[in-house]
Amino acid sequence: MVIPNLPSKTGVYLFKNAQGQVIYVGKAVNLKSRVHSYFQNNLLPKTSLLVSEIESIDYIEVQSEIEALILEANLIKKFRPRYNVRLKDDKDYLYIKVTKEKYPRIITARLRDLDAAKIYFGPFPNSRAVRQTIRLIQKLFPHWICKNPPGQTCLYAHINLCFGPCRKDFEPKEYEKRVHQIILFLKGKKDKVVKQITKEMNQKAKDLNFEKAALLRDQLESINYVTTQTRLVSHYLQNPNLLDDLRREELHQLEEILNLKKIPARIECYDISNTMGKEASGSMIVFTQAQADKSQYRKFKIKRSPGVDDYAMLKEVLQRRFKNTWPSPDLIVIDGGKGQLKVACEVLKETGRDIPIISLAKRREEIFLPIQPASLKLPQSSPALQLIQRLRDEAHRFALNYHRHLRRKSFLHS
């Protein structure tokens, strides 16, 4: 058979036999690479048998690994392919439960174990997905995971992954608050959790407890990054091209709202990351057709801008960017408000560039445009705003990762 031209994107693939029956369903971070791996030499006997029966291949592209996990599980449940050993029997279904202990734990459980649960979520058809979720929660909301007696600090506590009574600084009320946030998170009430943490972070900053405020800030960034918006599985089943349709909708709305001359096929977004001016860095990320194009990403170590001056740093990054012969963007997005936008516009004027440009201020998610005095406020449900937010969040993540790398490198050589 001829392998179809698959994208190098995250999604789910379906192998079918000569009768059109689905005989295997799998997920992949890179569809093209994963599917091609089945057609190599030295395969296991079971895999060789599977490949010998493949007559056609379908695929569904999705936005994230989480969506791929959920969609894979649902497709296996729907088609019950004979080559899928896992995910088919109810006995494999796992739950996430919050125990009834004085200081509750968040663990996996089978149906028979739910009587010892305070609250539970599930069943989940993919046990791997459940365990990945538990690990994710542990990183976002560190809670009690060890079995050490009170006051006997465990290894995980030393790296801030265990916040149980083993810690000498354990605070029962703080732990109760954290468990409550985990429950809200599992119920899908991310916005409520973010609001609570933001309020606490601002209060800590007012109290000059900057160390605690910084930890809460990092927690917020992690939550926002990993909880990418997901679509209902039924939407993908009804329309396998859903993701392409959504991207087209985002770009068309962005073109209309910003009154652009054409659809912005290439969008660049910039962000600056620094800690009191030390080891400052900048990022340029690129979306092509509303998708992250990581081969086009660029990072900048700030060289000419001393002190804490985000404007000067942004100016340096943009000046260095436009000295290169990289493809010209159809739209530039700056992470920031009016000040950052003004600096960026000055650089474009200096370099003789006529490129549409906007900035997005994080506090109220306001969009600023050149010349226009008033900001543009779009509803959270707006596809155009969601695309701009995705750009901004990715630029922030990329800049922050490079900044942390520079700080670690500086620490090791100090």
Query: Which DSSP string corresponds to 9-45?
Result: S-EEEEEE-TTS-EEEEEEESSHHHHHHHTTSSS--H
Using one digit for the tens of pLDDT, what is the confidence trace for 240-298?
788 888 899 999 999 999 999 999 999 999 999 887 667 889 999 999 999 999 999 99
Using one digit for the tens of pLDDT, what is the confidence trace for 203-233?
888 888 887 777 777 767 666 554 555 565 5
- Residue-level pLDDT at 90: 46
Q: Residue 290 in contact with residue 250, Cβ under 8 Å?
A: yes
| pLDDT class of 149 with cuts at 50, 70, 90 | confident
Using one digit for the tens of pLDDT, what is the confidence trace for 348-403?
999 999 999 999 997 788 999 998 888 999 987 789 999 999 999 899 989 988 98
Please compute, for residue 395, the number of CA atoms within 13 A of its CA located in the half-sphere on the CB side.
28
- Residue-level pLDDT at 281: 92
- Angle among Cα 214, 215, 217 to the nearest 5 degrees reads 60
> Is the model's pLDDT at 342 over the cut of 90?
yes
Q: Which of 346, 351, 332 is nearest to 284 (CA)?
A: 332
Q: Residue 285 in contact with residue 252, Cβ under 8 Å?
A: no
- Residue-level pLDDT at 224: 59
Work out the number of other CB atoms within 10 angstroms of the CB of residue 410: 11
More confident residue, 351 or 40: 351
- Residue-level pLDDT at 89: 47
Q: Residue 341 in contact with residue 370, Cβ under 8 Å?
A: yes
**Alpha helices (H) in 146-241, listed in sequence order:** 155-158, 172-186, 190-206, 210-226, 233-238
Q: Residue 153 in contact with residue 166, Cβ under 8 Å?
A: yes
Phi-psi region of 307 (alpha: psi -120 to 50; beta: other; left: phi over 0): left
Mean pLDDT, the chain, rounded, equals 84
Tokens of 194: 């973010």
| Mean predicted confidence (pLDDT) in 301-322 | 89
> Is the model's pLDDT at 413 over the cut of 80?
no
**Helix (H) or strand (E) segment spanning residue 250:** helix 242-257
Tokens of 267: 């969008």
- Residue-level pLDDT at 24: 93
Q: Residue 163 in contact with residue 173, Cβ under 8 Å?
A: no
More confident residue, 12 or 207: 12
- Residue-level pLDDT at 124: 63
List Cβ<8 Å contacts ≥24 apart for 394-398.
394/269, 394/285, 394/287, 394/292, 395/269, 395/270, 395/271, 395/283, 395/284, 395/285, 395/333, 395/335, 396/221, 396/271, 396/273, 396/283, 396/335, 397/221, 397/225, 398/271, 398/283, 398/285, 398/297, 398/299
> Is the model's pLDDT at 239 over the cut of 90?
no
More confident residue, 214 or 145: 145
Tokens of 214: 């910084």
Using one digit for the tens of pLDDT, what is the confidence trace for 123-141?
665 566 677 677 777 877 8
> Is the model's pLDDT at 189 over the cut of 80?
no
Using one digit for the tens of pLDDT, what is the confidence trace for 67-124?
787 788 778 878 888 887 644 444 556 778 888 888 888 888 876 777 766 777 766 6
Amino acid at site 107: I
- Residue-level pLDDT at 85: 60
* d(C-alpha 279, C-alpha 325), whole Å: 26
**Helix (H) or strand (E) segment spanning residue 342:** helix 338-350
Using one digit for the tens of pLDDT, what is the confidence trace for 46-64?
888 999 999 999 999 987 7
Q: Residue 395 in contact with residue 387, Cβ under 8 Å?
A: no
Q: Residue 281 in contact with residue 399, Cβ under 8 Å?
A: yes
User: For 278, which DSSP code?
Assistant: E
